Amino acid sequence: MPALASHRKPRTRVRTTPAVGLTTAALASVTLLSTQSATAAPAEPKPSIQEVQKKVDDLYRQAGTATQQYNQAKTASAEQRSKVDALLEAAAKRADKLNETRRELGSYAAAQYRGGSIAPTATFFLADDPQSYFDQDQLMARMTSRQQKAVADFRTQQKEAAAKRAEATKSLETLTESQASLRTSKQQVQTKLTEARSLLSKLTAEEKARLAELERKKEAEAKRKAEELARQQAAKEKAEKATAEETPEAGTGTDAGSGTGSDSGYSSKAEKVLAFARAQIGKPYVWGATGPSSYDCSGLTQAAWKAAGVGLPRTTWDQVEVGTRVATANLRPGDLVFFYDDISHVGIYKGDGMMIHAPKPGANVREESIYYMPIYGSVRPA
């Protein structure tokens, strides 16, 4: 009997190589990730609340410095613009006088034409450089004294007009530099404020609460120092008053220690300064602002003293040079108190160790202890 053919399908051979390859790749990936994790730089530790507070305070102070640079550049730019306008106006007037002299010389040329002697003067007016042509002795010899004076005036006015144009050009270059400095300072202010806001925005609610508590402690310590100064000043004033009552003739002079002349005159001005400053309490700090709806620190002090009839320069760096320097112990209402080593902030002393000032972006004009910030020095403006 013939053998029957097998109807079973042949077994398919299973290839295991891809699986082995996949497993190898997976292991390699795990190994690579492990290696990267092991060699990656450790994350920087999160700053403490005290460090955040110091960093934010520093950024606001730096923004204050940049604000004063902006104010300085803005003032310089405005002054330079006025100078340029005046120079351009002067140059235009010189050009008018020059043209007037040209017309006068033209009338001489017309007269010579009618007299049949056109050649020399006509050559003068057709020449590219009439001034050099007039250097020729033969032409000058043919002119009357009046004509010679007109030519001399023409030469003088040409030189003056050229000088004014050159001065105006140089002044315009300075104006361009001032405007560039203005833009740079503005960018610096915005950068510092953005960085400070970014730091604060990253704090959790709990961290913000802790930061607020640190601020309250700082304010309380500053207030304590202000109260101590108020007690010292009150005791000093009482002693001086007692001395003055005992020796009336000695009490009519001036207070050399405080560096003032007329006490009553200064007190009258100071009252106007403080009345103006109090009326601004609650208005927002805006860098570069001079009122009436918002102020920066030196903008407020400038406006307040202006209300008393005293003009102050725009920046803290210039205001600190005005008037007489005063020791902290001898401060009187109306005096200006400056802060930080770079003199980037200023407030108006109101008495009892307190001041009115425009603090920083995000805050309003308010009363605060002069000890809230490190004191640089104080001046009596008038």
Catalytic residues: 297, 345, 357
Name the CA dihedral angle for 359, 360, 365, 369, rounded to a multiple of 10 degrees: -20
Q: What is the 3-state secondary structure (H, E, C) of the chain?
A: CCCCCCCCCCCCCCCCHHHHHHHHHHHHHHHHHHHHHHHCCCCCCCCCHHHHHHHHHHHHHHHHHHHHHHHHHHHHHHHHHHHHHHHHHHHHHHHHHHHHHHHHHHHHHHHHHHCCCCHHHHHHHHCCCHHHHHCCHHHHHCCCHHHHHHHHHHHHHHHHHHHHHHHHHHHHHHHHHHHHHHHHHHHHHHHHHHHHHHHHHCCCHHHHHHHHHHHHHHHHHHHHHHHHHHHHHHHHHHHHHHHHHHCHHHHHCCCCCCCCCCHHHHHHHHHHHHHHHHHCCCCEECCCCECCCCECHHHHHHHHHHHCCCCCCCCHHHHCCCCEEECHHHCCCCCEEEECCCCCEEEEEEECCEEEECCCCCCECEEEEHHHCCEEEEEECC
> 99 CB contacts (<8 Å, ≥6 apart)?
none
Q: How far apart are CA 306 and CA 380, in angstroms?
A: 14
